[in-house]
Chains A and B, each alone.
Chain A
Amino acid sequence: MIKLKLLPIVGSFAENKDFARDIRLKKIIPALENNQEVTLDFEGIDSATQSFIHALISDLIRKYGMEVLDEIYFKNCNETIKKIINIVADYMQD
């Protein structure tokens, strides 16, 4: 299991898609390829854009299938962030 604290990388408003893509490509995918589970820790993050969450997780669902959501834990998400993650997960799985 790897644990990623997002706040130091993305700040309290997670909107920079370049950071999201880097986290996915450089941290999440290598961990998944090594059969490790991933915890994304949103502690201290007040809000996120749909574009940010899309850049963070949509391609994982496309590449690995919806089962990838069994390998990823979203920790310390507030209501807004939970809902945005759910929206992205919904439209990627349909």
Chain B
Amino acid sequence: MKIYLPNSAFLGNIDPFLRSFESSNSKKLEITANKKWISIHPVVLSMVAALGLTVSPSNIYCEKLEAVSRHYLKRMGLFNLLNIKSEIEIKEHESTGRFIPLTKITNSEELTRFITDMIPLLHLEPKQAEPIKYIVSELVRNVLEHAQSENGAIVSAQYYEKSNSIRIGIVDTGVGIKETITMSHKVPSHLEALRLALTPGITGMTRREGGTDYNAGAGLFFIKSIAKVNRDFFMIYSGDAMYKLLKSKHESKHIRLCGNPFEDRHSKGDDFSFWKGTVVGIDLSLDATREFSILLDLIRDTYVKTVKERRKERFRRPRFI
């Protein structure tokens, strides 16, 4: 496998990065990077870490990094997590900033601890912390329950002062969304699997409306809705498919949530390098964070409407001949 860390890869311009890495030869990983500057979203870092954890440390080759910003990779814990040496040194007195280094979460207890520790690290107020805790909990629980990923979920996050936003990456190298959704639904492609996974009330655990006693099929819809209401990016990538919720324009005062993710302002494709597992990246602007309870009103209306429409579509009358 080969992965190149570009000059810039954030959710808005991540597509070339997702097309560029090579997933062949899964026993080896080669990491190269832009010589001058590396500026990447935490989701990119989580992807590199997740790939690295699938191979032995002795089979990871990381070229000598020259970019001025190379310290970021060290500070985020990439080399420690992968158990490989790096010549990059960080001076202890340097400001640590507001970030969550790469963390591997493999069980429920680790997740609970992570959520508790995460908020002080990001220096968030309770109102800002609420959606972030929510997002991390739901996404990591999805990984723990469905992904069958040996290395669990790889999470990292970073506060960006300029945009006053938190960017989060949650990645696994498990079975991917299509395999999970296929357990209960006919799914012809990875892209269709993403569409179904984002649709409220659809879960891979059952075809029944309302889900099982343990899964409702609502988690990803809630998270996409949080991003949409705050007019932020949300990206999900699995297999060869990627769906990205684009930022909505600030001029429109009324935000309409959509049960069908393809009705949102988005970009998508199914010609990306194959990712065995699932990748989720999200930006959360702290300026725009709406009251969580207002968001829940919108979600309630859309959720119930979508499920009702689907029930109506499925309704059949007996035919008397």
Q: Which residues of A are in contact with B by a Cβ distance under 8 Å?
A: 11, 13, 15-18, 21, 24, 46-47, 49-51, 54-55, 58-59, 62, 79-80, 83-84, 86-88, 90-92, 94
Contacts and interface: CB of A to CB of B under 8 A. Distances in A.
B304 interface: yes
Contact of A80 (B209, B292, B303): B292
A85 to B, nearest CB: 10
Contacts of A59: 213
A18 B219 CA distance: 16
A90 B296 contact: no
B304 A91 contact: yes
Interface stretch (B44-52, B76-84, B129-137, B167-175): B129-137
A47 to B, nearest CB: 6
B216 A50 contact: yes
Contacts of B213: 21, 24, 55, 58-59, 62
A59 B308 CA distance: 19
Interface in B18-57: none
Contacts, number: 89
A88 B304 CA distance: 10
Contacts of A24: 213
Given A16-B108, A80-B292, A94 B311 contact: yes
B297 A94 contact: no
A58 B112 contact: no
Interface string B289-305: 00011001101100110
Interface residues of B, number: 33
Question: Which of B214, B215, B299 has most chain A Cβ within 10 Å?
Answer: B214
Q: Is the interface of B mostly helix, strand, loop or mixed?
A: helix
4 tightest A-B CB contacts, nearest first: A59-B213, A83-B296, A15-B137, A54-B216
A46 B283 CA distance: 23
Nearest to A59: B213
Interface of B: 108, 111-112, 115, 126, 130, 133-134, 137-138, 141, 201, 209-211, 213-216, 218-219, 222, 292-293, 296-297, 299-300, 303-304, 307-308, 311
A16 B216 CA distance: 15
Nearest to B136: A15
A90 B115 contact: no
B300 A87 contact: yes
B216 A17 contact: no
B300 A86 contact: yes
A84 B115 CA distance: 20
Given A80-B293, A94-B308, A47 B222 contact: no
Nearest to B109: A16
29 contacts: A11-B112, A15-B134, A16-B112, A17-B141, A17-B214, A18-B108, A49-B138, A50-B219, A51-B137, A51-B141, A51-B216, A51-B219, A54-B214, A55-B213, A58-B213, A59-B213, A62-B210, A62-B213, A79-B293, A80-B293, A83-B296, A86-B300, A90-B304, A91-B216, A91-B303, A91-B307, A92-B210, A94-B307, A94-B311
Contacts of B293: 79-80, 83
